[in-house]
Structure 1
């Protein structure tokens, strides 16, 4: 990011418009909250549409965010100083900055994906504040919660009197652990990796699905190292009774797909194993929880095994977040201290898939030139 492109106009702490009642002043973290200290910055790019003047937008967003925090009350709190397993819902508020970007948005979107999206993040390293205790930047909520937060903010911006119904489940799904040896906090590495976005248009996506269904051959990778893929899954609809999508928290699990032989490096076989892993997900016996308690992490690579991490936001309507000036023309995420990490989300039209891939420089140079990838996907470098 070129910092000279951005200048700060104002910075404010936005507090909830309604104080949190005494019965909700303490929010107990779940086991997944305890161990997953990960945060992925998000950016929404909008065209100038309608009668909104840029000078009016900050006040509009401040008012709606204040109302929003009355519903998402833990995010206006802080981690307890004496016991970080709790959130003090003390209405301290969140920081909201108003900045000026000294170039047209069309110029930003013509730049390579990584460079353009990082312009709008508050610091050059968008993960710098993720461990400072502010719940707006420290994750106490999964992709579903994040999507709901932004969509609900848009709803209140369009209608400040709208009624919302988010509810936080705390540790009721995955009980908090008091065993310090089991609660090993996994944080992202300090290194910065490249992040690039690729889009699979619907016609190419259908062709890829057909090819995988017919494929039986083995890919020749040129080199092989045992690998493990961890796929995150939303568990709301798998619980009994199922939870509604306005339930907030890290209500997720996941499963591992491992390859120990080069003959297993086969798209058709991998897809089959992923489907099997998804079908076998148990609502309560979380693979994520069990693996972490055993000291196994799906988040880092080591010298012996390549560990890959995948999360899908496809079912969450990020491209429908509307603050009153239309839907975004791009949804971006910060490329940060994650290696072998990729995120799937819907594209703008809703019929294709966008993939954000995070790799180190050497692996990215190989990946983005892969002929089989480029047969179905195109890198996003401009609009």
Structure 2
């Protein structure tokens, strides 16, 4: 199924996913349901065969102070409106046993309640596509136990095992997300005392910048770092910046999950520098060579994925659409502050009718589209009509593309958490030993900073047949290390 279904005279683009595809057997961890019924889950002891993680309890965490009546409704922005109500997961691992365990969990839970007083929409429920009822029903808190040490997880990170650290991997908590909860946190304690914190916050309200700000505010309370004053309170942008509109489409979090394989590849700083040198050498006169590390890594991954697809199908024709998520915050005027909370991410669509494009052609097209989109976003300012026009133009072009090429086409997506300060999130047990993100949607690339801050961890999900070819690609392996260990961070956790 393609993410765009062109209709005569209007861009009516709406892909609906089902709750059934969000259960423990699913390979995707997002939900698009808008039901708001509450599920009373208090004590559980659940595990499925071959699972290393079992849930021991789950409960609602409400704001420590009730939300006043004049804040009971938050109207969302145009971009919030366009996004599906998924709960993208981010996992932070803490390795110091002395500061972990029950005491850390208790402190984190209490401080979450205090933090939700400021971040009150996260304790509410979504009403329709563009409004949050800030009713204090609560975020959900899940506690789990793993029957292995953290070092075993980090020695060779495995997507199937990491998925068990997410609330969406368990039927009970997956249902909670489907019923409209906007924030679910799962705390998993390992046999060594190490802890994994999986934070799943709605993309209707939180982009990566807002999620980072929320986690840093919460962790400051948990660690007792408020002596110098409270963190600045969040300012919810809502519809003050980009007012919602009647839109002829909505974005989807569905891209197929059947028969997929997920693999991790790490691109070290030296290899990214070599990629950039290759791209610069091939650049034409006057062409921009300010390639970002995400653009360079993404271009290589897409090139090798397309080569794998051609090898599997035996066809040389795979016209391709690549959707790359971009951060609008640094492309808007005036600049936004760290505590401006909302979703300011949008996907730009990059078309390749030649699936045998060179690495330079791929990365230069990504850079060109990024420049064009930035110019358009800056020109539109805070005019939601102009921004909607840009969005419609991009998505309409993609709809025409899929209408032309149909099943011959390929669709890839990329989302990046690179450049955000997740490694500064300290709940009182030191900085994270490792931070990762996970999506197992088909043809999805998820990137996050490597521990050194300069490299990139990339999780790539492809059709199993494509992956069997992709993970052996010599061009890819010249720059990427397949799933290296991060266990040495357990022995040397970073401290503030």
Paired residues for 1:153-172 under 5 Å: 153-159=218-224, 161=226, 162-172=230-240
Instruction: Judge conservation of contact 2:439–2:446 (CA < 8 Å) in 1.
Output: no
| Moved >6 Å (runs of 4+) | 216-220
Instruction: Judge conservation of contact 1:298–1:309 (CA < 8 Å) in 2.
Output: no
**Aligned match of 1:245:** 338
1:306 equivalent in alignment to 2:410: yes
Alignment CA distance shift 1:47-1:356 (3 Å): same
List alignment gaps of at least 5 residues for structure 2.
1-47, 184-200, 285-302, 311-315, 381-385, 487-496
**Aligned partners of 2:394 and 2:179: how far apart in 1?**
27
SS of the residue corresponding to residue 186 of structure 1 reads coil
Instruction: Judge conservation of contact 1:113–1:381 (CA < 8 Å) in 2.
Output: no
Shift of 1:69: 1.0
**Aligned partners of 2:362 and 2:129: how far apart in 1?**
39
1:8 equivalent in alignment to 2:55: yes
1:186 equivalent in alignment to 2:269: no
1:91 equivalent in alignment to 2:136: yes
**Counterpart pick for 1:365 among 468, 471, 490:** 468
**Aligned match of 1:43:** 91
Q: TM-score, normalised by structure 2?
A: 0.69
Paired residues for 1:143-154 under 5 Å: 143-154=208-219
**Aligned partners of 2:143 and 2:174: how far apart in 1?**
19
**Counterpart pick for 1:203 among 270, 295, 299:** 270
**Aligned partners of 1:124 and 1:351: how far apart in 2?**
31
SS of the residue corresponding to residue 108 of structure 1 reads helix
**Aligned partners of 2:74 and 2:121: how far apart in 1?**
7
Instruction: Judge conservation of contact 1:216–1:266 (CA < 8 Å) in 2.
Output: no
Shift of 1:362: 1.7
Alignment CA distance shift 1:260-1:84 (3 Å): closer
More helix by share: 2
**Counterpart pick for 1:101 among 134, 146, 150:** 146
Instruction: Judge conservation of contact 2:414–2:445 (CA < 8 Å) in 1.
Output: yes
**Aligned partners of 1:307 and 1:151: how far apart in 2?**
35
**Aligned match of 1:56:** 103
**Aligned match of 1:122:** 167
SS of the residue corresponding to residue 363 of structure 1 reads helix
Alignment CA distance shift 1:187-1:230 (3 Å): closer
**Aligned match of 1:330:** 434
List alignment gaps of at least 5 residues for structure 1.
none
Q: What are the superposed Cα offsets for residues 19-56 of structure 1, whole Å, 9 maximum, x if unpaired?
A: 2222221111223323321332221111125x425121
Shift of 1:145: 1.5
Shift of 1:134: 0.8
**Aligned match of 1:376:** 479
Shift of 1:353: 1.4
